[in-house]
Amino acid sequence: MEMSSVRAAQGAANHGFFDREATIAKAGFNRWLVPPAALAIHLCIGMAYGFSVFWVPLGRALAVAKGVAKPIACPGDATSFAGKLAITGHALFAVDCDWTQFDLGWMYTLFFVFLGSSAAIFGGWLEHAGPRKAGVVAAFCWAGGLVIAALGVYVHQLWLMWLGAGVIGGIGLGLGYISPVSTLVKWFPDRRGMATGMAIMGFGGGAMIGSPLASLLMNFFKTPADVGVWQTLLVLALVYFAFMMGGALGYRLPPAHWAPNGFTFTRRAGAMITHGNVHLNDAHKTPQFWLVWLVLTLNVSAGIGVIGAAAPMLQETFGGYLFGHPSVGFAQFTDEDRKLAGGVAAGFVGLFSLFNILGRFFWASLSDRIGRKTTYYCFFVLGILCYGALTTLANWGALPVFAASCCIIASMYGGGFSTVPAYLADLFGVQYVGAIHGRLLTAWSTAGIIGPVLVNYLHDSRVAEGVPRDHVYDAIFYALTGLLVVGLICNALVRPVAEKWFIKAAGEHEPHLTAPRTSSFGIGYGGFDAQAAVAWALVGIPLAWGVYMTLLSAVKIFQ
């Protein structure tokens, strides 16, 4: 076995620097250096969640440049959805009118559609190319997309914004998101959930760093004739490129047959954790893949529907409760009331973000102890209880308990993302888990449509029916509860993958990949040594700053 490690090292010397074989770790490498490399990439691409920080300044950028008090509207009738689409079509190439939130909001659709589709398309390529090459491509796409978006802002061309950040940047999101998954699962077979949780929590935390940083930069660059957005995008592109390249170059893969010191691969009869590997081309043929796909889709749909409407939901539901005047309803808000309520709602959104990121690590780590299927049972059962109680809590005016319930929901939204890679590794093995995870992320793209459309449709239709604003969300909460009930049933149907799907016959795919891991080869040692402490500090300090800024905003909800 020691000879196989030597041959792997010799093979790496005959390959290019960015090739998969060149990333095989050598004796003395500390596996705790890999999670901060993954975090460096996820904290950068996670800014996709915080892009709304640009909407307000961009919505008046042309007016500021021309010295006009109000945004310059594009011609058209915005009273219908079709009319709004027509206005957006005009705004794509117009240089004489400002962009609306409806125009800019399509960026989110592009982000997550291209994230899911690129992860599905390039997941197989990633397994052969390796995480380093995928991370480098992700860095060029995400940072390059921001540069193109900055050019779009500078010349006031919305289509360049969509193409740069939305399409090209979205591809970078997909590659950057899945690049560490199979790598970390291979390095931490003893702690699969914790490992993927450490990386994927960075995607939830990216906005906590990027949003306040972008605000500071825009305030620095703005002038009486410029809102400072394009300069901010360029600075962010430079910073993100440096961090993502550092993360990509920090990736290493364990050699074949590697295992942590003292770790033994075992499988109990009937256990969910598999003993082998299912090929990428076969995974989607199993019922387990589609059941987990539905589990993720329904969990994310329920969470993202509320997260996307968090601020208006709180203001409409609680009205004057937010600032000590419970007799004042949302419809009676004055400008000063809106300002006060908006401040509390911003804190509420901050709490959502914080629990989103904490849930990614907490639930994924807990899944190592209680199992992935049991963890998803927790998501659905707790989610049903929390969503089912929201209407009653709102009627009681129990704002702190309502906020706590929503924070639990946000934690399980994030936990669903971080636990599912380990769930897939348990079911299908580790060899193709990155590519299988990439295909499963089409569930995210689907949920990104189902959740917001369901919530927004029910909201607008109930408002049109004349339902009081403090009861508009009652039916929405019950509808989301229904989604979780279906998800609970799907999770209960998940069983171990049938033996026929495992790679086992000679010459079928790559049968040698099912060989057991038997030695550490002197790799993986070190723990939290000085080198690991430096690597973690490089990602931990910015993350701690983001948490601090979020808490400053969130305390308003309890004042």
User: What would the pLDDT profile of 346-360 be if each residue is shown by its tens digit?
Assistant: 677 777 878 888 999
Among candidate residues 380, 402, 383, the one with its CA nearest the CA of residue 391: 402
- The CATH homologous superfamily of the domain defined by 286-323+340-510: MFS general substrate transporter like domains (1.20.1250.20)
Please state, in angstroms and rounded to a whole number, the distance separating the CA atoms of residues 550 and 199: 20
Q: What's the pLDDT at 4?
A: 46
Q: The pTM is what?
A: 0.82
Q: What's the pLDDT at 261?
A: 82
Task: Answer whether 50's CB lies under 8 Å from 211's CB.
Answer: yes
Task: Answer whether 170's CB lies under 8 Å from 115's CB.
Answer: yes
Determine what percent of the chain falls in helix, strand and coil, rounding each to the nearest 5.
75, 0, 25
Q: What's the pLDDT at 409?
A: 92
Q: What's the pLDDT at 468?
A: 86
Among candidate residues 110, 54, 466, 455, the one with its CA nearest the CA of residue 231: 54
Please state, in angstroms and rounded to a whole number, the distance separating the CA atoms of residues 471 and 473: 6
Centre a 10 Å sphere on the Cβ of residue 65 and count the other Cβ atoms it contains: 16
Q: Provide the H-helix boundaries in 165-254.
A: 169-178, 181-187, 192-221, 229-250
The encoded tokens of residue 315 equal: 């203001």
Sites in the chain below the pLDDT cut of 50: 1-12, 268-270, 506-514
Please state, in angstroms and rounded to a whole number, the distance separating the CA atoms of residues 60 and 69: 9
pLDDT tens for each residue of 134-189: 999 999 999 999 999 999 999 999 999 999 999 999 999 999 998 887 788 889 88
Q: What's the pLDDT at 171?
A: 95
Domain limits, the chain: 54-67+100-253, 286-323+340-510
> Could you tell me which CATH class the domain 54-67+100-253 is placed in?
mainly alpha
Same fold, 54-67+100-253 and 286-323+340-510: yes
Q: What is the DSSP letter of 49?
A: G
CA distance readout (Å), 544 to 36, 50, 310, 411, 548: 14, 17, 24, 18, 6
Task: Answer whether 451's CB lies under 8 Å from 300's CB.
Answer: yes
Q: Provide the H-helix boundaries in 308-397.
A: 310-318, 335-370, 372-396
Q: What's the pLDDT at 480?
A: 92
Among candidate residues 444, 452, 384, the one with its CA nearest the CA of residue 420: 444
